[in-house]
Amino acid sequence: MRLIIEARIEGAAAASTPIKLGVIERQNEELTLSNLGLRLDEGRELLRRTQQAAVSVQVASWLAGRSACESCHLPLAHKDIGTIVCRTTFGKVELASPRYLQCWCRTPVQYRARPTFSPLALALRQRVTGEFEQLQVEWAAQLPYRSAVRLLRQILPLDAGISFSGTRNRVRAVGLQLDRQDERAIETLPKARGPGIQSLSVTAVAVDSVWLKHCERKRTEGRQLNVVAGRATLAEGGTSLYGYVTRQVPSGAKRLDLFLSQQGVRPNERAIAITDGAVEFETAAAGSVLTGARILDWFHIAMKFRAAQMSAVMLSLRSPAQWRAIEHSIERAKWLVWHGRAHKALERPRSVLETVKGMPEEDRSTLSLNVERVLNYLDQNDCYLVPYAARYRAGLAISSATAESAVNELVSARMAKRRQMRWSEQGAHLLVQVRSAVLNETLRPRERPVPWPAKANDSRYRDYEWELEAA
């Protein structure tokens, strides 16, 4: 069997001439699954040739109407012809790009020689389609760069149209644009008004952080970098993520305000913030104007009480009566905190600590250290303790588990967990911007894809931003 696949394009100059796309040959042999239909390599080659034929005819038809001057309609003098390369979802396409001399009617008098221009090069300033850019960035945000490139090459005709370094540069370019869009949006944020009421769109927001290995072992920068990730629980259902590297943003508080504003929090509203008492959250929430009441995470409270209870088990072997009294006091203090009676609950750990320190063998034991940690943790965050039982019965958030899952989903699964990776601060920050946009499903194909800046201050990117503002 010999299958000939041809294409006939209508509405073009070459409509009457069929274009041969491929030939599929099968011998008259026994039918098996290995020779059934098209193979993957044949399908990829067929897609590549179809794309090349479609784009070539489309460009030729478009160039046919650009060979005359737009002002006087006289034919333009042909200088030479070159080739430009455009990367698409179905392969890299080479296109003939003629170059013309500018017409005399549009040439200033002081010019001694007419300048040249290429209509196709001016129309296709960025040589990559927005659909291919989004596909490349989305895969690279979910998988390591080399794995994403390898899988894309297996399913699409991209053997010569995609590379590891190009994918990394594309992710950084898109991440840089998203980051600068956020910085510009921060400057236009409306000012908060009044004391604020409870937000109707965001029920709670939680923030946590994770440390990644630094690829630059400089003493001034340290061997690790800190990534902050947060999640907002929406009233209408679902959640939304955001993140950044601490040293790559001017203000973590303004980033939090921008994130809450994007989720629908108005200037006269406040969102409840759930904290575990960590420094990174306090830094981000201290200057935030859209976060209102803070709640100390119940999970961390319960874990500290749990550690104190487990360390008291060893005391049961030496003095069962004292162990039962200490365990009852710890359990009673936990019950009081759960029901919002924090000031009365602090008396229990203090009495337990005095009892334990009065025992010579338990003065500096694990039990005394854990009870002291419970006491200090509750004493330092007593203003953030609320009636957890009432909130739980009302179906409201009482734990920062959403922030823990945000760190796991946004950062650890791609950049740390089970992967021995090292990151630069800028590379990690830009990847987090892209990954959060992908997970929030806010990344869309761009009509004008982003160029590839080598660094954040690359002049090519500044020119691109100027073109966007001018447009």
> What CA–CA distance (Å, rounded) separates 407 from 152?
27
> What CA–CA distance (Å, rounded) separates 227 from 178?
17
According to the model, what pLDDT value does residue 471 have? 46
Looking at 384, 406, 436, which one is the last position of a domain?
A: 384
Degrees to nearest 5, angle at CA 312 with 309 and 316? 130
Give the position of tokens 């025992």: 359
Say if residue 44's pLDDT is above 70.
yes
According to the model, what pLDDT value does residue 16 have? 62
Q: At what angle do helices 164-187 and 425-439 cross, to 10 degrees?
A: 80
Higher pLDDT, 307 or 318: 307
Higher pLDDT, 131 or 278: 131
Residue 376 covered by a domain = yes
Tell me: the pLDDT tens digits for 447-456? 778 777 656 5
What distance lies between CA 61 and its chain's CA centroid?
40
CA dihedral 330, 335, 338, 342 (to 10 degrees): -70
Letter for the amino acid at 205? V
Mean pLDDT is lowest, of 95-99, 326-330, 425-429, for 326-330
Residue 427 covered by a domain = no
According to the model, what pLDDT value does residue 71 have? 84
Mean pLDDT is lowest, of 51-65, 116-130, 281-295, for 281-295
- Residue 270's DSSP bridge partners are 198
According to the model, what pLDDT value does residue 245 have? 92
What are phi and psi for residue 213, nearest 5 degrees?
A: -70, 135
* DSSP E strand boundaries for 331-466: none
Mean pLDDT of 144-168: 89
Give percent above pLDDT 90 in the chain. 20
According to the model, what pLDDT value does residue 260 have? 92
Higher pLDDT, 257 or 218: 257
**What is the rounded average pLDDT for all residues in the chain?**
83
Residue 363 covered by a domain = yes
Structure pTM? Answer: 0.82
Mean pLDDT of 352-362: 71
| Pair type for strands 269-275 and 202-218 | parallel
According to the model, what pLDDT value does residue 315 have? 66
According to the model, what pLDDT value does residue 419 have? 65
Tell me: the pLDDT tens digits for 244-289? 998 899 888 899 999 999 999 998 888 888 887 766 666 666 778 8
Tell me: the pLDDT tens digits for 330-345? 888 889 999 988 788 8
> What CA–CA distance (Å, rounded) separates 224 from 251?
20
Say if residue 221's pLDDT is above 60.
no
Tell me: the pLDDT tens digits for 189-203? 888 877 778 888 998
* DSSP E strand boundaries for 219-289: 222-234, 239-245, 269-275
Mean pLDDT is lowest, of 7-11, 85-89, 97-101, 294-298, for 7-11
Mean pLDDT of 351-376: 76
> What CA–CA distance (Å, rounded) separates 140 from 160?
18
> What CA–CA distance (Å, rounded) separates 157 from 209?
40
Residue 351 covered by a domain = yes
Residue 4 covered by a domain = yes
- Residue 85's DSSP bridge partners are 94
> Domain span at residue 54?
1-64
Residue 18 covered by a domain = yes
Say if residue 150's pLDDT is above 80.
yes
Give the position of tokens 């911007």: 433
Looking at 38, 64, 90, which one is the last position of a domain?
A: 64
Residue 420 covered by a domain = no
Give the position of tokens 């370019």: 173
According to the model, what pLDDT value does residue 74 have? 86
Mean pLDDT of 433-444: 92
Let me know if 420 is exposed, middle or buried by CB neighbors in 10 A (0-12, 13-18, 19+): exposed
Sign, CA dihedral 170-183-252-446, equals: negative
Q: How confident is the model at residue 185 (pLDDT cuts 50, 70, 90)?
A: very high
- Long-range pairs of 437-444 with CB within 8 A, sequence gap ≥ 24: 437/178, 438/137, 438/138, 438/141, 438/142, 439/241, 439/409, 439/410, 440/240, 440/241, 443/134, 443/137, 443/138, 443/174, 444/134
According to the model, what pLDDT value does residue 148 have? 93
Looking at 64, 81, 97, which one is the last position of a domain?
A: 64
What distance lies between CA 47 and its chain's CA centroid?
31
Tell me: the pLDDT tens digits for 81-111? 999 999 999 999 999 999 998 888 877 766 6
User: Where would I find the H helices in 85-198?
Assistant: 119-123, 130-142, 145-155, 164-187
The answer to whether the beta carbons of residues 50 and 93 sit under 8 Å apart is no
The answer to whether the beta carbons of residues 97 and 56 sit under 8 Å apart is no
Give percent above pLDDT 70 in the chain. 87
What are phi and psi for residue 251, nearest 5 degrees?
A: -150, 120
155-164 exposure pattern, b = at least 16 Cβ within 10 A, e = fewer: ebbbeebbee
Residue 306 covered by a domain = yes
According to the model, what pLDDT value does residue 429 have? 93
Mean pLDDT of 423-428: 90
Say if residue 376's pLDDT is above 80.
yes
Say if residue 231's pLDDT is above 80.
yes
> What CA–CA distance (Å, rounded) separates 150 from 143?
10
CA dihedral 252, 258, 263, 269 (to 10 degrees): 90
Higher pLDDT, 31 or 314: 31
Domain count for the chain? 2
